[in-house]
Structure 1
Amino acid sequence: MPLIEFSNCGFYCREGDFYIDPWRPVERALITHAHSDHARWGSKYYLCHHDTKPLLQQRLGNNQYESIGWNAPVYINGVRITLHPAGHIIGSAQIRVESGGEVWVISGDYKIENDGLSGAFEPVQCHTFVTESTFGLPIYHWKPQAQIFSDIQSWISKNQAEGKSSILIAYSLGKAQRLLPCIAEVTDNILVHGAIYNIHEALINAGWNLPTVQKVSSETPKSLLKGSVVIAPSSAEGSPWMKKFAPYEIGICSGWMQVRGAFRRKNADAGFSLSDHADWKGLLEAVKGTGAERVYATHGFQFAFSRYLREQGFEAGEVRTEFGNEETTTPDHTASPP
């Protein structure tokens, strides 16, 4: 029997009697990161990284949480557990599970480039590696973050010169925080949607030093709205909430913007291929870095990616999960009235 089983609730370690990122309530849940498709309400006990705990508290409310640091072993029914940086968002972890000389690593979501905020991805040696494959096609190849940030800053400066607001559509947890240092270099007037403000406050209260933002509300002076830089979740697109910033341009920050014409189909003015997931090259680099004999691909282009791995000599397969893609499709459950 393998150390990790693929059950109808999630990744299950029978020997340790725990689940990793379960999508149904269980007794004991180990959480890779705080995105809503990986961290769900209803389990009795939660284990996560220290930086993920305040995010779970903000998103899931009061529960029985235990948090640990990087590479700090804990044992559950004799099974050794350690967490290692995934580089996806703040607090995101790969979970290493070891028993009887067998080692599995469940990656959750990850990216290879160090964004200066989420921690540097750390390849972890293992026998079996479970990898995401959100962008598991060769067409996905990211520009360096510095280049993308420069493009965003140039776009904001252009809009400022034309008297327009700049509205950046970005997921409230991860992308929004990653954008702040970039925007702060061109303006100190950063406005955010309530969903993003909630996450921002949770991180500030946990000790994170992030650029100052202002929550958009009915009391926000009109003088601040005009010509402002705004970060909003995709749930705000096309809503009456946007009208208060007119005239404005919309820029979508997502890996899907890599595909030609994607931002036009979204009725946006600009698209920036800023992703919190690994691109094709990054996925391959991660797999090779683990030295794994077996690789299982989950959500994304898992069939194409696993087929390619088999062609390269890996023992590879696919795993069906209920994880989504927070880049554009996962509902933002942190949203609050604007």
Structure 2
Amino acid sequence: MVLQFTDKGIYCPAGDFYIDPWQPVERAVITHAHSDHARYGSKHYLCQHDSVYLLQLRLGQDISVQGVAFGEVVRYNGVSISLHPAGHIIGSAQVRVQQGNEVWVFSGDYKVENDGISGQFEPVPCNTFITECTFGLPIYNWQPQAVIFSNIRQWVQDNQAAGKNSVILGYSLGKAQRLLYHLRDVTEQIWAHGAIYIPHQLLREKGWDLPEIHRITPETPTAAYKNNLIIGPPSAADTSWMRRFNPYALGVCSGWMQVRGNMRRRNADAGFALSDHADWTGLLQAVRATGAEKVYTTHGFSSAFARYLTENGIPAQEVKTEYGDTDEELNIPETTPNEQ
């Protein structure tokens, strides 16, 4: 096997490196900067160059990290490694590993619809494909992005007519940038929690086409964000940070909002099934486009998805990993004492 599944992560014995390890290792190839895929403690990191500064934000400026362009080939002990667009978040990549004539691809996390900022997912032909299955059930089929953002815009306008602030919760790395990119002109100003503001400003400094936003501090007068859009991380729900916005309507952006009961459980006024992961159709599209002869399924509905693939002529097997879909926050303080 070109890649092996170990207690530290996905390992390439010939190249002596790990992909997205969950324990410290000598050499780690990283698909993207979410905390379940990029963890502290490894001696050296390799990632797509737009992930470099996001890794440094999360793990510290002193880490040893090498950034490479999409498609650029790096060789470890004769094993070829290249990174290819995953379309999940800014800097996200799939890892292509070739040993001799055998090619394996680890997808990391991905989505096939181009969100306008994270890049277009690129199918990579391979013998073996390792795919996430976060939303690997047929009930998860996303509406086109344009429809979802049209619904969000209408919701914000309805809140304004009712004299309410519009508060949307979304992951600080990935979802927040996508929301801000597409909703830049929905209100006169956009305000944000510190956990959103910090990576946003970093990405603007690096040249990303993101709108100006304003950070909410204890000194921010309530009149400043009245009838405007406010974006915060999921962890801000049911905190004192939220209560300052009364009267407000709460919207949650997550693929889990596809299931009606989840909106009620989040105490949300509106749920928008906007996900940075592929839906059922996208997963099938990606798998088939690789032409893989064998598929390994990880995190999410991996057992169900593997069974479906096998029953439809694509040998597949579930693999247990420590990746997940609930830990996509930057490992930086989401609230400071002054933001409670």
TMscore range, shorter length? over 0.9
Match of 1:5 in 2: 4
Classify the secondary structure of the residue corresponding to 2:75: strand
- Structure 1 match to 2:198: 198
Q: CA deviation at 1:272?
A: 0.1
Deviates more, 1:271-280 or 1:174-183: 174-183
Q: Does structure 1 retain, via aligned residues, the 8 Å contact 2:137–2:304?
A: yes
Give distance in 1, aligned partners of 2:146 and 2:54.
Answer: 27
Structure 1, residues 266-323: CA drift from partner, whole Å, max 9, x if none? 1100000000000000000000000000000000000000000000111110110001
In the alignment, which residue of structure 2 is the partner of 1:217?
A: 217
Look up the match of 2:51. Answer: 52
Q: How does 1:228-239 map to 2 (within 5 A)?
A: 228-239=228-239
1:35 aligned partner: 34
1:150 aligns to what SS in structure 2? Answer: helix
Give the superposition deviation at 1:120: 0.2
Corresponding position of 2:257 = 257
RMSD over aligned Cα atoms: 1.0
Contact 1:89 1:276 in 2 (8 A): yes
Partner of 2:69: 69
Q: Is the 8 A contact 2:140 2:279 kept in 1?
A: yes
1:225-255, CA deviations, whole angstroms, 9 ceiling, x for partnerless residues? 3222111111100000111111000000000
Counterpart Cα distance in 2 of 1:33 and 1:73: 18
Which residue pairs with 2:164 in the alignment? Answer: 164
Q: Is the 8 A contact 2:180 2:210 kept in 1?
A: yes
Q: Which moved more, 1:272-281 or 1:259-268?
A: 259-268
Alignment-derived partner of residue 87 in structure 2:
87
Kept after mapping to 2: 8 A contact 1:225/1:244: no
TM-score of the two chains, using structure 2 as the length reference: 0.97
| Matched residue SS, 1:305 | helix
Deviation at 1:182, TM superposition (A): 2.6
Q: Deviations over 1:166-185 (max 9, x none)?
A: 00010000000000133213
* Cα shift at 1:202: 1.7
User: Which residue of 1 is the match for residue 103 of structure 2?
Assistant: 103
Structure 1, residues 73-105: CA drift from partner, whole Å, max 9, x if none?
111111101110000000100000001111000
Which secondary structure does the structure 2 equivalent of 1:124 belong to? coil
AA aligned opposite 1:185: D
Q: Does 1:23 align with 2:22?
A: yes
Offset at residue 332 of structure 1 (A) = 5.1
Aligned counterparts of 1:72 and 1:97: Cα–Cα separation in 2: 12
Count of residue pairs the alignment pairs up:
335
Q: Aligned partner of 1:18: which letter?
A: F
Measure the CA separation in 2 of the matches of 1:60 and 1:207: 22
Identity of aligned residues (%): 59
Say whether the 8 Å CA contact 2:173–2:328 is kept in structure 1.
no
d(CA) in 2 for partners of 1:86 and 1:149?
22
CA distance in 1, matches of 2:184, 2:301: 35
CA contact under 8 A between 2:194 and 2:215: conserved in structure 1? yes
* 3-state SS of 1:184 partner: coil
Distance 2:263 2:158 in 1: 18
Q: CA deviation at 1:331?
A: 5.7
Structure 1-normalised TM-score? Answer: 0.97
Alignment of 1:120-159 (within 5 A): 120-159=120-159
**Cα separation, 2, equivalents of 1:68 and 1:307:** 36
Q: 2:267 maps to which residue?
A: 267
**Deviation of 1:264 (Å):** 1.1
**Structure 2 Cα separation of the partners of residues 251 and 332 of structure 1:** 21
3-state DSSP class of the match of 1:141? coil
Residue 331 (structure 2) pairs with residue 333 (structure 1): yes
What runs of 5+ residues in structure 2 fail to find an aligned partner? none
- 1:233–1:332 contact (8 Å) kept in structure 2: no
TM-fit CA distance, 1:198: 1.2
Helix, strand or coil for the counterpart of 1:299? Answer: strand
Q: Which has the higher mean CA deviation after the structures are superposed, 43-52 or 224-233?
A: 224-233
Q: How far apart are the structure 2 equivalents of 1:186 and 1:236?
A: 22
What is the CA-CA distance between 1:188 and the residue it aligns to? 3.3
Match of 1:188, SS state, is coil
Separation of aligned partners in 1, 2:330 and 2:174: 12
Residue by residue, what CA displacement relative to the aligned partner does 1:133-167 show, whole Å, maximum 9, x if unpaired?
00000000000000000000000000011110100
* Residue aligned with 2:50, SS: coil
Question: Does the aligned pair in 1 maintain the 2:34–2:329 contact within 8 Å?
Answer: no
Contact 1:235 1:332 in 2 (8 A): no
Shift of 1:219: 1.9
